[in-house]
Structure 1
């Protein structure tokens, strides 16, 4: 989907300050490097890192590579028989909060919890906005994981990897 053109109203002044420029993986990597966050590029071209022991991917997607997504996976998995309890917590999270989107997937006979925060940056993004977006995605997804950990009974087996 192509971005809609932004139009200034008659008499509206030209923008001052930093001008949004296209989103790139290199800009995201530069931000992470500047903050001292260790990361790698995975086989899909996504930036991957770990925060508080939870794996995260910072993904650029879309027809024009204009969508920024911060996706995290809770480091702990839950037994399949905890599906109803976990879904109850996740549905409550999704009902009560705007982001991140939370969902559960079965992986290797266990339940994995994911959080995703996404935004369309078809009109570009300043460095300050990019930093805020990435940090918002990370922080709110970590809040999701903390909420689930505090709400559910402890899992019977910690995830080894």
Structure 2
């Protein structure tokens, strides 16, 4: 299966009209996601656990397939690397609650590490085990990546931090799954 380049929304602006995909549903896999990331001109790596990731300077976005056959789920999970203090967690929770109320994705939650630092994680999922339209898969994945970038920019703005995200993957080493 192959992605028609004209069916990929313009990553830097408004989505372009999409042509009809193949007849019937497809079951996406890691190779299809790699092809999509290549066409979006996004750097990507496969980590030691076999998960596909796109690293940026301040976060890493993973493209994971979990589950068996009809229950298989495609998950786009972003680990935001900017550490926050435990004392700032109430403010972070207020901000993430506001984001989660106002947007569809990614849904963002906090994780407190053993050292007391707080990190944020964004996630969007799609059930793919019975198949999905290629057009829906491509447009959803592109939208989720864009929204992950936008969340980081929005959070930096809300916290008064200098946003370091330029919308392009960084030159980080291969990330490891958390």
Structure 1 length-normalised TM: 0.75
Residue matched to 1:11: none
| RMSD between superposed Cα atoms in Å | 2.3
Aligned residues: 141
Q: Identify if the C-alpha distance between structure 1 residues 135 and 82 changes in structure 2 by more than 3 Å, giving closer, same or farther.
A: same
What is the correspondence of 1:64-103 to structure 2 with a 5 Å cutoff?
64=69, 66-103=72-109
2:36 is the counterpart of 1:31: yes
2:140 is the counterpart of 1:133: yes
Residue matched to 1:56: 61
Residue matched to 1:105: 111
Contact 2:21 2:133 in 1 (8 A): no
Residue matched to 2:50: 45
Q: Identify if the C-alpha distance between structure 1 residues 48 and 17 changes in structure 2 by more than 3 Å, giving closer, same or farther.
A: closer
Residue matched to 2:8: none
- CA deviation digits over 1:14-50, x for unaligned, max 9? xx85122112112111222233322111122210112
SS for the counterpart of 2:75 is: strand
SS for the counterpart of 1:76 is: strand
SS for the counterpart of 2:94 is: helix
Residue matched to 1:119: 126
Q: Tell me by how many angstroms 1:130 deviates.
A: 2.5
Taking the aligned partners of 1:124 and 1:52, their CA distance within structure 2 comes to 34
- CA deviation digits over 1:53-96, x for unaligned, max 9? 42110111122273111111223221121011111111122222
Taking the aligned partners of 2:134 and 2:126, their CA distance within structure 1 comes to 15
Q: Tell me by how many angstroms 1:52 deviates.
A: 5.5
Taking the aligned partners of 1:33 and 1:97, their CA distance within structure 2 comes to 27
Radius of gyration: which is bigger? 1
Unaligned stretches of 5+ residues in structure 1: 1-15, 156-160
Structure 2 length-normalised TM: 0.69
